[in-house]
């Protein structure tokens, strides 16, 4: 590589890193990493395997880039991002190499009949947070290895900063800002289900699942604070958040919305499944013996997400259902649509919904 070529490539890399670190959403940042490294390495397939704090695999993202030439001779680049549903059969070769990388704590390469399989660990606080995986026809040069390590280090450091900014300090749950970010992504995907401009991960999310949003509130929390003090109150908040996380599935999203109020967004095929998920959360809290307080309960109001309704109205419907649950005695789970069908709530009008 000549000095001029190295300078040009370095300038391009700095531009890509600048674009990547301007992103304010962790999932979009993960996609940006794959879009950045693929072209730099001259490969069309890259993958990202993400782990949570318990070293459990929570997300697998595949990126593919293809080129075509139209009738006017213009080169068009098409990108596909595909998030794989967990539980699908894993690639044995990749799984084996990931295990080796985990044990050694450094990148590993395996030569197959056709190409090289390469896996890099992605570190965060000296802990493996995931793996960057790709295949190509030749081994990496020393310069390419340095480049990949550098990009992954920048990504991991920036991801950690971004993740902290979207976490509640007490419970470490996603915060209100993270909720607003996910509102934008979910509504965009649902509104444009058939749009050719959507990535595959957005189309998959829009087509394969129904979303349900719940507002969850700890019953009589003010009484807990007044009786036992704020230190005990904080401990209850922390324990309740941990119990809810354990009761929810890995794919479900849980946020601390403010005070003793939480918001959950889940995917469920139908209302019965959604109700079972939220009931499981309620029962987990009800069954637990808390220090000093002993028994705590929660009330839940939820609604199916309608892409044609503004997020603030969807949140309002779940909140109204929560308020009704509290009025009817607390420690219960109410569905907005069931309250409408039973005549407790009036059927929403277009004016109420404020359609897009």
Active site residues: 260
Q: How far apart are CA 52 and CA 74, in angstroms?
A: 42
Classify 171 in phi/psi space as left (phi over 0), alpha (psi -120 to 50) or beta: alpha
Edge-to-edge strand ranges of the sheet holding 210-218:
253-258, 261-268, 210-218, 298-304, 333-335
Residues pairing with 165 in the sheet? none
Q: How far apart are CA 67 and CA 269, in angstroms?
A: 36
């Amino acid at each position: 590589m000549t000095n001029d070529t190295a300078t040009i490539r370095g300038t391009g890399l700095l531009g890509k890193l600048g674009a990547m670190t301007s992103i304010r959403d962790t999932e979009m940042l993960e996609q940006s990493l794959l879009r950045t490294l693929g072209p730099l390495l001259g490969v069309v397939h890259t993958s990202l395997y993400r782990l949570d704090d318990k070293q459990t695999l929570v997300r697998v993202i595949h990126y593919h880039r293809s080129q075509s030439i139209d009738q006017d001779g213009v080169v068009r680049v098409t990108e596909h991002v595909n998030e794989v549903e967990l539980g699908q059969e894993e690639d044995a070769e990749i799984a084996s190499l990931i295990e080796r990388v985990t044990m050694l704590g450094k990148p590993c390469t395996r030569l197959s009949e056709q190409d090289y399989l390469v896996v890099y660990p992605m570190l965060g606080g000296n802990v493996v947070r995931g793996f960057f995986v790709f295949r190509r026809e030749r081994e990496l040069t020393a310069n390419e290895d340095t480049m990949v390590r550098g990009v992954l280090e920048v990504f991991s450091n920036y991801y950690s900063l971004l993740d902290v900014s979207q976490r509640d300090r007490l419970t470490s749950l996603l915060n209100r800002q993270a909720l607003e970010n996910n509102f934008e992504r979910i509504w965009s995907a649902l509104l444009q289900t058939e749009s050719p401009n959507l990535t595959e991960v957005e189309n998959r999310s829009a087509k394969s699942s129904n979303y349900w949003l719940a507002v969850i509130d700890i019953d009589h929390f003010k009484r807990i604070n007044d009786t036992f003090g704020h230190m005990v109150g904080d401990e209850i908040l922390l324990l309740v958040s941990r119990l809810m996380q354990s009761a929810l599935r890995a794919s479900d999203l849980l946020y601390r919305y403010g005070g003793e109020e939480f918001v959950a967004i889940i995917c469920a095929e139908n209302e019965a499944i959604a109700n079972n998920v939220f009931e499981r959360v309620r029962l987990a809290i009800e069954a637990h013996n808390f220090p000093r307080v002993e028994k705590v309960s929660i009330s839940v109001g939820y609604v199916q997400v309608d892409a044609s309704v503004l997020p603030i109205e969807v949140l309002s419907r779940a909140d109204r259902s929560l308020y009704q649950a509290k009025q009817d005695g607390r420690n219960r789970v109410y569905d907005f649509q069931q309250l409408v069908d039973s005549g407790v709530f009036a059927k929403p009008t277009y004016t109420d919904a404020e359609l897009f």
